[in-house]
Structure 1
Amino acid sequence: MAYDYPPEKLSVYLSDDGGSQLTFYALLEASKFSKHWLPYCRKYNVEPRSPAAYFKSMPKPLNATHASSLASIKKLYEEMETRIERPIELGRIFEETQPKHKGFSRWDSYSSRHDHDTILEILIDGRRPEDKDVEGWPLPTLVYLSREKRPQYTHNYKAGAMNALIRVSSKISNGEIILNVDCDMYSNNSQSIRDALCCFMDEKHGQEIAFVQWPQMFSNITKNDLYGSSFRATMQVEFHGLDGFGGPIYIGTGCFHRRDALCGMTFSKDCLVKWKSKNQMKIEASTQELEEEAKCLASCTYELNSQWGKEVGLKYGFIVEDAITGMTIHCRGWKSVLLNPIRPSFLGLSPTTLPQFLMQQERWGEGLLQLVLSKYCPLWYGHKKISFGHQLCYCHYGLWAANCLATLCYTAIPSLYLLKSIPLFPEISSPWFLPFAYIIISKYTYSSVEYLRCQGTFRGWWNEQRAWLYKRNSSYLFAFLAIVLKLLGLSDQAFVVTAKAADKDVSERYESEIMEFGHSSPMITLLATLALLNLLCFATTMGLQIVLCAVLVLINFPLYEAMFFRKDKGKMPMDVTMKSVVYAFVGCIGFSLLLKG
């Protein structure tokens, strides 16, 4: 709401797919606080304009007047926090609070988060006299939406929620540009809207741009990026390269869309946009009338026998609805643009534990591989629609999960062969050793220099190599198997939301860059087993093979530490350690017997 942009032209929509009264109450409190916060931002040119991030950065007052204003606005914010946190701790809204706003009555027919009517409330309508800030300026429109859900209807996860928002917003404000951000993100740059509009309104190429994508960045990345979550090279190098082929892929957040392109329009030189003020609410309709008219657009039955989820809006049937949607937009002739200013425009939260990170990577790997193996495979669906280079770019990400097979072979087989002193690679004295040495040295030299040029640290690069190994040996392997089982009709895919919340102890270990294992999972067990396998096999000297095994042992040191030395709650669970030891010994003995036979 606090963007540096005319408030009468800005509408903010919150999609609450859980249909929580607590979320509605929090948004209601935020709307009241905005009457004080927005004038403060304008007066002192605040950055960032997320109150939580702003106060966390400990701003220094400009003068005595600013110091007084800062103290007042901070007190108001803390009072709002207290009012929100108390009902959350209780798990329900106070009875005396509910009669104060008619919106709470929307939950009278509420059964569960999977069975309820559409809950739509326009909390702020800039046309109403009471919806002004303390200085008399109009506030941006603010809308709460929880679409209708029924057990007998498929709700299509995030894509379904986005499409419901697209339809509801078309009835209320109908803005030509749509920005979507995830719930764990905040705006870090109040000028982002103006930056995006510079791309859309460019005189030469603006008419062919469907969406403007910002890199995905995080506010809680540690100094050395413990889990390699920042994707520095991908966001700062690869995505810039994609601009030359037609633009970056849509990554699901931090993206400004042209409404017409998102709703299925095919690009042609005749579809020039005349930027006009058509994004205002119906002047003749009251707030209540708008709410009633828009409710049906978020019903379970609205999309039946329609093109929503097929040719209109975000596509259904894919875990990575963002990638498939972006690719089909590109195939309709549109282009996209990457904006990567010095000041990050959007900041989110990265996983703070290894299980969370691996689960997130599994979902991405599974969804992207599903795209490559579907009828929307870039190589044939994009044939003659996008350039061959652009097709290969989509395939590059789509085949992430398939990388697990080669990585797993290099992780396990050379180490196992050490047990029987069987060479798999040329001796160091052999001329055939040179190609291996060239590939290894050039690959790691290039990747380390690239990482350092992207403002990373050497230790951060090493952590990224560890993350590269872990996700390919676990997340991508499980993603690959899940897709194979689905193709064989033996399992169904399920959308898994990555947990981002963490308790105080977990956060402290994360900030100290101590890996968090926490609980048992098949992926952690597999990683621990492979790590122990490498350690057990590290007993023979054999040129390049022992070097590879030594590197694997070194990179797996956090796993050994978590299994045998750590005492904190984030250590490896004992049952995982015991199972991994047994599996590793059985693997070594079984492989030795197999070779002997």
Structure 2
Amino acid sequence: MFKSLIELSFEITKVACTLSPINFKLKRLKTYLLFIYLFPSQKLYEDMRNRIESAMKVGQISEEIRKQHKGFGEWDLVSDPRNHQTILQVLLTPIRGTEGCKKGRERIILHFLLMFDLINLLLISQILIDGRDGKAMDVEGQPLPTLVYLSREKRPKYAHNFKAGAMNALIRVSSRISNCEIILNVDCDMYSNNSESVKDALCFLMDEETGREIAYVQFPQCFNNITKNDLYASSLNVIMEVELAGFDSNGGPCYIGTGCFHRRETLCGKKYDMECEREQTTRNNDGKIEESASVLEETCKVLASCSYEDNTQWGKEMGLKYGCPVEDVLTGLSIQCRGWKSIYFTPERKAFLGVAPTTLLQSLIQHKRWSEGDFQIFLSSYCPFTYGHKRIPLKLQISYCIFLLWAPNCLPTLYYVAIPSLCLLKGISLFPKISSLWILPFAYVMSSSCAYSLGEFIWCGGTLLGWWNDQRMWVFKRTTSHFFGFSETILKQLGFSRSSFAVTSKVADEEESKRFEQEIMEFGAASPMFTILATLALLNLFTFVGGIKRVIIDMQAQVLDSLLLQILLCGVLVLMNLPVYHGLFFRKDATRMPCSVTYQSIAFALLACSLALY
């Protein structure tokens, strides 16, 4: 039927093309209207898109739409997005009771709860449908899922715990509405790209032999806006396709905060044992008491209140862990240490797609939060080597340290970026001479490391220029993001600072997106991270020129023999920093390096060179 309707629409369009140009527009319009008539879901989508575009142009929601949903009226009473009551509305409610989920494991109906916990974010809703009358069906006659709008209560006197707090409120509210066994967690900027992902996850979770011990199924974090050569190394291809796959073989992947199907009871603190396995075997999903939508909403508002977690185990033994910028990794580690296992699955068609950072600063801030949170876990009581001792395999403990030790990796990187260059300026040799046999181990390590890294990157679908961008970004991240993450973690351990949660921007303007697509590196902000980048870039430029000058003036083979490796290292760093030089001195647009950063970096670089010479 579907195919015949498509063919009918195509035939009408083909006939219209044979008519005069004047009539063609009219015929094309009629064809479009016929298509909308035949496929009402397409019409609903077009209506939604038009309403969103209209709201974007006007800058506000029309009164007609505002009157349709009480949530808008409740938001009108909110003067501060960080200080407001719980706002909740059930938009779609399918049939409840045992008929909706017979025998639990034989038939699972997924209920989706949308939580909008971002500042100033309102939902433009579709038509309200009460599915309990049995008519909540889509155009194909399938039951519609539960759809809920929720903005949890926030008060200045209560810590809202950012994403972890939002997820825990989500878990509680969804347990009241559906209490289904499986929870899908995705970030607000991600969407489903593979309808088979639900079936794939359930195949693991419902496997008769090993499914009962699986806590969650983790899919890769992928993005839909990655450029050809991945300017900011945002795709994380090697991490997703190699390192997390290694996690899987070593005992199970870590939870990365999105694209993950959870077993509800594991998020609620349940330990895995043989008794748990017997419970899952005999469990029957009993029907819940019928409630009207209004009563259900009021009940759920209590669960999403800011004081509900007082004197409870939420954020400690239940739900996502609090007190860490990477609550997802910490929560996944805790679940695995309670005896549960996890699965990493990478389907050929990407399961979920999101939006990668479109500016350099966004990427650096994101990695600063990741490295800081990971290092906090390593220094806390949840360190895999202590907390995971005799709970998870040693190889899995070591696997976690790949990420947990990102931050301290800044120290050797900063050394190799700065010290050899300064010694080159002074004429001090740090590496073996080219004529010495001791150069062979250095040459082997450098060449094999680069060759392996390049081969790995190409195997993961990257390009040669993409690999070069990836190497540049790792240097940038380690000298800025990881350095700040390391410093703030040490200060926190000493009691001089507190952890902060830096939210990565999910919105890019048209000009910013255009520069990103053209792979033009964006600066434009007076950030301490840019000051460090520019200072190191200028430092290597000055020392490289000084080193070349020394070789030319001395004209002695022994000088080149002893300093060649340092000259090569300094030269590679200069090549890596070409976009920084371009932003410092040649670009004139608003996204060039700010003048304040330029002046500061020049002063710091000259000061460092002066100290090295004298």
* Structure 2 length-normalised TM: 0.83
> Which residue of 600, 608, 612 maps to 1:579?
600
Cα gap change, 1:371 to 1:312, in 2 (>3 Å): same
- Does structure 1 residue 518 correspond to structure 2 residue 532? no
Q: Secondary structure of 1:178's match? A: strand
Q: Indicate the residue corresponding to 2:513 in structure 1.
A: 507
After superposing the two structures, state which structure 1 stretch, 234-243 or 98-107, moved more. 98-107
Q: Indicate the residue corresponding to 2:285 in structure 1.
A: 278
- Based on CA coordinates, which of the two structures has the bigger radius of gyration? 2
Q: Indicate the residue corresponding to 1:367 in structure 2.
A: 373
- Does structure 1 residue 537 correspond to structure 2 residue 505? no
Q: Indicate the residue corresponding to 1:592 in structure 2.
A: 613
- For residues 541 and 75 of structure 2, what CA distance do their matches in structure 1 show? 58
Alignment deviations for residues 452-503 of structure 1 (CA, whole Å, 9 cap, x no partner): 1111111111110001100001110011111111112211111110013111
Q: Indicate the residue corresponding to 1:82 in structure 2.
A: 50
Q: Indicate the residue corresponding to 2:495 in structure 1.
A: 489
> Which residue of 443, 448, 453 maps to 1:447?
453
Which one-letter code corresponds to 1:572 in the other structure?
M
- Does structure 1 residue 381 correspond to structure 2 residue 381? no
Cα gap change, 1:275 to 1:452, in 2 (>3 Å): farther
Which one-letter code corresponds to 1:202 in the other structure?
D
Q: Indicate the residue corresponding to 2:182 in structure 1.
A: 177
Shift of 1:566: 2.1
- Does structure 1 residue 264 correspond to structure 2 residue 232? no
Cα gap change, 1:298 to 1:136, in 2 (>3 Å): same
- Does structure 1 residue 209 correspond to structure 2 residue 209? no
- For residues 67 and 331 of structure 1, what CA distance do their matches in structure 2 show? 58
Shift of 1:238: 1.2
Shift of 1:586: 1.2
Q: Secondary structure of 2:276's match? A: coil
| Contact 2:433/2:439 (8 A) holds in 1 | yes
| Contact 2:388/2:397 (8 A) holds in 1 | yes
| Contact 2:40/2:139 (8 A) holds in 1 | no
Q: Indicate the residue corresponding to 1:197 in structure 2.
A: 202
Cα gap change, 1:40 to 1:184, in 2 (>3 Å): farther
> Which residue of 555, 558, 578 maps to 1:557?
578
| Contact 1:175/1:279 (8 A) holds in 2 | no
Alignment deviations for residues 74-101 of structure 1 (CA, whole Å, 9 cap, x no partner): 5653442232233345444333433333
Cα gap change, 1:138 to 1:201, in 2 (>3 Å): closer
- For residues 509 and 32 of structure 2, what CA distance do their matches in structure 1 show? 38
Which one-letter code corresponds to 1:242 in the other structure?
F
| Contact 1:174/1:278 (8 A) holds in 2 | no
Q: Indicate the residue corresponding to 1:114 in structure 2.
A: 82
- Does structure 1 residue 126 correspond to structure 2 residue 132? no
- For residues 533 and 405 of structure 2, what CA distance do their matches in structure 1 show? 21
- For residues 584 and 440 of structure 1, what CA distance do their matches in structure 2 show? 27
After superposing the two structures, state which structure 1 stretch, 149-158 or 90-99, moved more. 90-99
Cα gap change, 1:138 to 1:419, in 2 (>3 Å): same
| Contact 2:426/2:612 (8 A) holds in 1 | no
Alignment deviations for residues 393-440 of structure 1 (CA, whole Å, 9 cap, x no partner): 112211101000000000000001111111011111111111111110
Q: Indicate the residue corresponding to 1:68 in structure 2.
A: 35
Shift of 1:67: 8.7
Alignment deviations for residues 22-69 of structure 1 (CA, whole Å, 9 cap, x no partner): xxxxxxxxxxxxxxxxx999x99xxxxxxxxxxxxxxxxxxx999925
Which one-letter code corresponds to 1:184 in the other structure?
D
- For residues 488 and 201 of structure 2, what CA distance do their matches in structure 1 show? 38
Shift of 1:108: 5.7
Which one-letter code corresponds to 2:182 in the other structure?
I
After TM superposition, list the pairs within 5 Å mapping 1:293-442 onto structure 2.
Answer: 293-442=299-448
Q: Indicate the residue corresponding to 1:547 in structure 2.
A: 568
Over 6 Å off, 4+ runs:
64-67
Q: Indicate the residue corresponding to 1:4 in structure 2.
A: none
Q: Indicate the residue corresponding to 1:9 in structure 2.
A: none
Q: Indicate the residue corresponding to 1:141 in structure 2.
A: 146
Shift of 1:575: 2.1
Shift of 1:309: 0.5
Shift of 1:168: 0.4
Which one-letter code corresponds to 1:537 in the other structure?
T
- For residues 357 and 503 of structure 1, what CA distance do their matches in structure 2 show? 16
Q: Secondary structure of 2:249's match? A: coil
Which one-letter code corresponds to 1:589 in the other structure?
S
Percent identity of the aligned residues?
56
Q: Indicate the residue corresponding to 1:93 in structure 2.
A: 61
Cα gap change, 1:103 to 1:564, in 2 (>3 Å): closer
| Contact 1:173/1:279 (8 A) holds in 2 | no
- Does structure 1 residue 227 correspond to structure 2 residue 248? no
Q: Indicate the residue corresponding to 2:19 in structure 1.
A: none
Q: Indicate the residue corresponding to 2:10 in structure 1.
A: none
Q: Indicate the residue corresponding to 1:157 in structure 2.
A: 162
- For residues 310 and 44 of structure 2, what CA distance do their matches in structure 1 show? 46
| Contact 1:210/1:257 (8 A) holds in 2 | yes
| Contact 1:174/1:279 (8 A) holds in 2 | no
- For residues 275 and 471 of structure 1, what CA distance do their matches in structure 2 show? 50
Q: Secondary structure of 1:434's match? A: helix
| Contact 1:353/1:516 (8 A) holds in 2 | yes
- Please, which runs of 5 or more residues in structure 2 have no aligned partner? 7-30, 96-130, 552-562
| Contact 1:176/1:279 (8 A) holds in 2 | no
